Amino acid sequence: MFDVLIIGGGVSGMSCALVLGSAKNKAFATEKKIGIFTHQKNSSLQEAIFYNAYGITPGKLGSELLEESTQDLAASYPHIEQIANEKVIKVEGSFPSFTVITNKNSYQTKSIVVGIGSANTFDIEGLTQYIEPHKKALPEKQRIQLKNEDHKVTDGIYVIGTLAGWRSQLAIAAGSGAAVATDILTLWNNGTQTHSHDSIR
């Protein structure tokens, strides 16, 4: 049983995983089991190049960033299970007992974070009832989002990045994923507001 499964290995999903992973030495997070589906084939980063993203060398390709992010996550936080080459097709159950079904396996988890982009081809059974038109995209783009309040879709289900209704910008997506990670850490910390900072001190 996972404590949280992140669906999507793009900017928002990897950001969420990195923040959750960095809390590994906090008493309330030490025993938590975290997983991420790192399927990146359809990520918009595959065609991106960055000149305006904080902390990223100008000219960095999005495809390079995707590859490096999974490597960095594995090196820094090997306790996070990366699930590659699987596509989520269905979600069953309710908090705190969900079943996430892929094209190859099924997984049990207490919570789910969904961050797979806002294309109108979204078709994860069990989540389609939350679809609504994207509020910050051009109508002709036909983008969608999942209904949410401050990233929360319903108990135990969170949505991040453009699928949460944010604009398509790397810094926004990264912040969205990090925000949900700190919300989850706060829940794990019995509701006490928390975050996870690294320091050289």
* DSSP line for 54-89: TTS-TTEEHHHHHHHHHHHHHHH-TTSEEE-S--EE
pLDDT beyond 80 at 41: no
What's the rounded Cα separation, in Å, for the pair 53 and 51? 6
So what's the pLDDT on residue 39? 78
User: Residues 12-23: what's their mean pLDDT?
Assistant: 97
pLDDT at 143: 96
Percent of the chain topping pLDDT 90: 89
Mean pLDDT of 130-148: 95
pTM of the model: 0.96
